[in-house]
Amino acid sequence: MSEDILRNYFNIHPENSIGIDGQIYYLAEGSVYSTIQVTHWEEDALLELYEMSEHMAKFGDKKVSRFVPANDQKFLITLNDQDYVVLHNHYVNGSTRKNRGRQLARFHERGKYLQASITKLNREGQWKEYWIQRLEQMEKVWSGLVREPSKERFNQLFVDSFPYYLGICENAIQYVKDTELDERFTEVDQRTICHQSFKEGTWDSSQLAIRNPFDWVVDHRARDVAEWIRECYFLHQRSYKPLITRFLEGYQSIAPLSRFSWRLIYGRLLFPLHYFICVENYFLSSSEASKKQLEEKLSWYTRNARDYELFLREFFHIANQQIGEIPPVEWLNM
């Protein structure tokens, strides 16, 4: 169907295709195209993605995906009661050799000049509210399982572990709240274009380098920095420290982080997002194989919770070396 959309609505004739992470990219005359189903996206949010994409392209990002107008010059097409847009990229080979910290800082520096009003995809200053909402939803599920115990191993792991993670969540929420009250907001702390969840592989595969606006939100740059660091810890538990140090050095060679930024990064790392995603995905999944994998992941998280505490202490020391003493979470530094 995607090829039909490209041919019939955009007069684009694919010569080849590449599959990457479940997305098909079509090659035509040296360019790369992808079709995105947007049936459930609000029109205002799509317009914000368009504005962000155009802004990044205007400011020199050659890897950004841009919206393609159809033959009727409209960006949205409807086929079989489903809505679609098409994105265009120049063909750029993926690379993992460059310093991701420097690349991310350049991306954020371009993004901070965005003038368009962003409301639907704005996450700046809203972490606490999102976290509280997720925490309350999870607490309801936990309370139900406490009242009516389940013999399923995942549910037992969840019931046993949730009080511990509840405490950490409350620490994270309070830490971010105190940061916003205590610290001076600097130029580097202004909003920029960020990602839902930035990881090492968000931009580059072995075949293509693409920056997809459907990954984006507007937020404080600490969001992306923290999520890259979180993933780095879980991927490289025995060797994360030099990798994180190199990433942060690269980032700060372009955009030095403020004290406000360091505290936000630490506060976001305190919030156990990995735990929430695992539990939420389990209760949303209908696949037994997927549920089994998530059960093993939750078991691993709970067995290694003390190691994550050690990582948080390590990061706290890294932050102190960079910016001077920041407030500790007392029980973590005992």
Report the alpha-carbon distance of residue 234 to residue 226 in Å, rounded: 13
Predicted pLDDT of residue 206: 61
Predicted pLDDT of residue 205: 66
Structure tokens at 76: 């949205």
How far, in Å, are 93, 180, 226, 256, 266 from residue 325 at the CA level? 42, 17, 19, 17, 13
Predicted pLDDT of residue 209: 84
Structure tokens at 215: 């990954």
Residues 6+ apart with CB under 8 A from 43: none
Predicted pLDDT of residue 126: 96
CB 200 within 8 A of CB 232: yes
Domains and CATH numbers, the chain: 2-92 (3.30.200.20), 127-333 (3.90.1200.10)
CB 80 within 8 A of CB 37: no
Residue from 207, 219, 208 nearest 65 by CA: 208
How far, in Å, are 15, 18, 46, 231, 264 from residue 23 at the CA level? 17, 8, 19, 22, 33
> Which alpha helices (H) appear in 148-239, and where do they start and end?
153-182, 222-235
Predicted pLDDT of residue 324: 83
The identity of residue 245, as a single letter, is T
How far, in Å, are 59, 141, 142, 251 from residue 107 at the CA level? 10, 39, 40, 10
* pLDDT tens for each residue of the chain, 334 residues long: 688 899 988 899 988 888 887 788 999 988 999 999 999 999 999 999 999 999 999 999 999 999 999 999 999 999 888 999 999 998 777 665 678 999 999 999 999 999 999 999 999 999 999 999 999 999 999 999 999 988 899 999 999 999 999 999 999 999 999 999 999 889 899 999 999 999 988 987 667 888 999 999 999 999 999 999 999 999 999 999 999 999 999 999 999 999 999 999 999 999 999 999 999 999 999 999 999 999 999 999 999 999 999 999 999 999 999 888 899 998 887 6
Query: β-strand 82-90 against 216-219: which pairing, if any?
Result: unpaired
Report the alpha-carbon distance of residue 276 to residue 231 in Å, rounded: 14
For 32, list phi and psi in degrees, rounded to 5.
-120, 135
Predicted pLDDT of residue 97: 65
CB 84 within 8 A of CB 77: yes
Structure tokens at 284: 């949303």
Predicted pLDDT of residue 208: 80
